[in-house]
Every structure is written in C-alpha cells, then in structure tokens.
Amino acid sequence: MRRVCLLLLLACYSTLVHSQDYVPLDFPGATSTMVLGVNLSGVVSGTFTASNGRHYGFVLNSQGIFRTIDIDDSVDTRVMGINRHGSLVGDYLDSAERRHAFATQINGMRIIDFPEAISTYGFGINTRGDIAGQYEDINGGVHGFRLNRTEYLSVNYPGAVTTIARDLNNTGDVVGEYEDDAGVRHGFFLRNKTYAKIHYPNAALTRAFGINNRRDIVGSYSNDTGIHGFWVRARSYTTMDFPGAVSTVITDLNENGVIVGYFVDTSGDTHGF
C-alpha cells in the first residue's frame, strides 16, 4: 500500500469560515496556490506549486495548520476535494507518467483506475465516499465517471465530444462540463440519469466545478471581459470576482455559505481564496 506523506506547517490564517469577505490564501513558499475543496467544517483542500516546479496537495484546517499531501513514488500530486469526514480525493502522476486517481480513507489510501483507461483523475467526493472524476480511454476519448464504492459508471453528456464529472453531492447529483461538436464548453447537472445544461447567460464558455447538498452550484465562465466565477441557485446566477483580480474561478462551496476558489492577479500569479 502506498503512503501519504504529511508535512505540518503553521500558518497565519484568517477566519475564512465566518467571514463574508474575500480572504486570500497562499501556501507558505509556494509560487501558486489553488483552493479546490471545502467541507462542512470549513477545512479546505487544494494544490500548490513549489519552487521546484512540482505540484503538491494540501489541507488547511480551521486552526491554521497546513498539511502537505505527496504520494510516494509520484512526480506530481493534486488534492481536488474533501468530504465531511476529511477524506480526500485527487490524482497523481507516477514515474511512468501515468495519471491515477486516489482517495484517502480511515484505513489508508485507495488507488482508483477506471477499467481499461490510460489515465484517471479524481475531482469530487461526497460523505459516503462516492467519487466523481474523469478518465481517458485507449482511443483518447475523455469521459466523466462516478464511482459508487466498487461500481464504476461512465458519465457522458448526450452528443458531447468530451465530458468531465467535477463533483457530486450526498444525493448523487453530479456536476461537470462537456464540449459540444462546435468546440464550446458548457456545464451540466446530472440527476437520476437526466442531464441539464448549465450555461451562464451570454457567456462564451461555462464550467461547473462544485455542488452542495442544497444543489447550489459554482463554477466559472468567460466572456469578452475575462474569466469570472459564478454561483447559481434555482437558475439564478450571481457573478463573483475577487477584488482587483484579472480572473476568478469558483471551485467549491459548503452548506454554511463558505465559497472557495482561486484568482490570478495583475502580475499573473495565482492565489487561492
């Protein structure tokens, strides 16, 4: 069994959970930081780039302690999501340059490879431990998937060229993105085998990244003014832009109203929030 290497670091941490303001978040010493997940307790997860150019995963708890996640024998590790129990989902690149998904569990870590796929990515995890992600088949096709314990289910938006499943909630609703035959990206919502398109009004492209148990959905869209984050409830869209940022991406939210993501500043640097 592979091991998850942990490094504890103390960091200054603003009260992200209880604040209604945008709070920037940078892993100490990193050249870029992306916050990609948040659970009900306000614990956040994400990925940072170190000075050596490698990607590592991280977790930041409510006491302000960073924990680095680095899979043994990997050359690149990303943590993409976290559930209520603190279980993580992500992916890593091995020394043979093959991408595998992983999920941490109480009794260790599970490696996830979609059957007969040449690469597998893990993006979202719910309280039951069900996982949403992406795989590439032997012909280079890109598909979403949902893993219910031991059952792998492909997720393919009808008529799409590619599909990516980004997140799922405790009732099994899935959100993600797909590319149509015109090369345009749209978000989607999947419930009980029924798909619905998500597209921010008048946007050039839309991507859905996260969903909570209230079926609030977050993501990003682009138009002639740049890349913006959004939050949608009951088909009502709200734009979210980090103050002064060049671009903003919203990646996840919990039921307490905590929303996380990352932004690019005017110098071209990427920061979490």
Does 32 have pLDDT greater than 90? yes
- Tell me how far apart the alpha carbons of residues 215 and 213 are, in angstroms, rounded to a whole number: 5
Q: Where does the pLDDT of residue 270 fall: very low under 50, low under 70, confident under 90, or very high at 90 and above?
A: very high
- Tell me how far apart the alpha carbons of residues 89 and 57 are, in angstroms, rounded to a whole number: 10
156: DSSP letter = -
Give percent helix, percent strand, percent coil of the chain, each to the nearest 5.
Answer: 0, 55, 45
Report the chain's mean pLDDT, rounded to a whole number: 92
209: DSSP letter = E
How buried is residue 45: exposed, middle or buried, by Cβ count under 10 Å (0-12/13-18/19+)?
Answer: buried
Does 37 have pLDDT greater than 60? yes
Structure tokens at 23: 């709070």
Strand partners, 261: 250
Does 9 have pLDDT greater than 90? no
- Tell me how far apart the alpha carbons of residues 90 and 134 are, in angstroms, rounded to a whole number: 11
Does 18 have pLDDT greater than 70? no
Q: Where does the pLDDT of residue 120 fall: very low under 50, low under 70, confident under 90, or very high at 90 and above?
A: very high
Scanning the structure block, which residue is given the tokens 């109203």?
Answer: 257
Q: Where does the pLDDT of residue 105 fall: very low under 50, low under 70, confident under 90, or very high at 90 and above?
A: confident
Question: What is the gyration radius of the CA atoms in the chain, in angstroms?
Answer: 17
The average pLDDT across 113-138 equals 97
pLDDT higher for 225 or 20?
A: 225
Query: 131 and 152 in contact (C-beta within 8 Å)?
Result: no
Structure tokens at 145: 């998937």
- Tell me how far apart the alpha carbons of residues 228 and 230 are, in angstroms, rounded to a whole number: 7
- Tell me how far apart the alpha carbons of residues 125 and 90 are, in angstroms, rounded to a whole number: 9
CA distances from 263 to 105, 123, 150, 250, 255 (A): 30, 19, 36, 9, 22
- Tell me how far apart the alpha carbons of residues 23 and 14 are, in angstroms, rounded to a whole number: 7
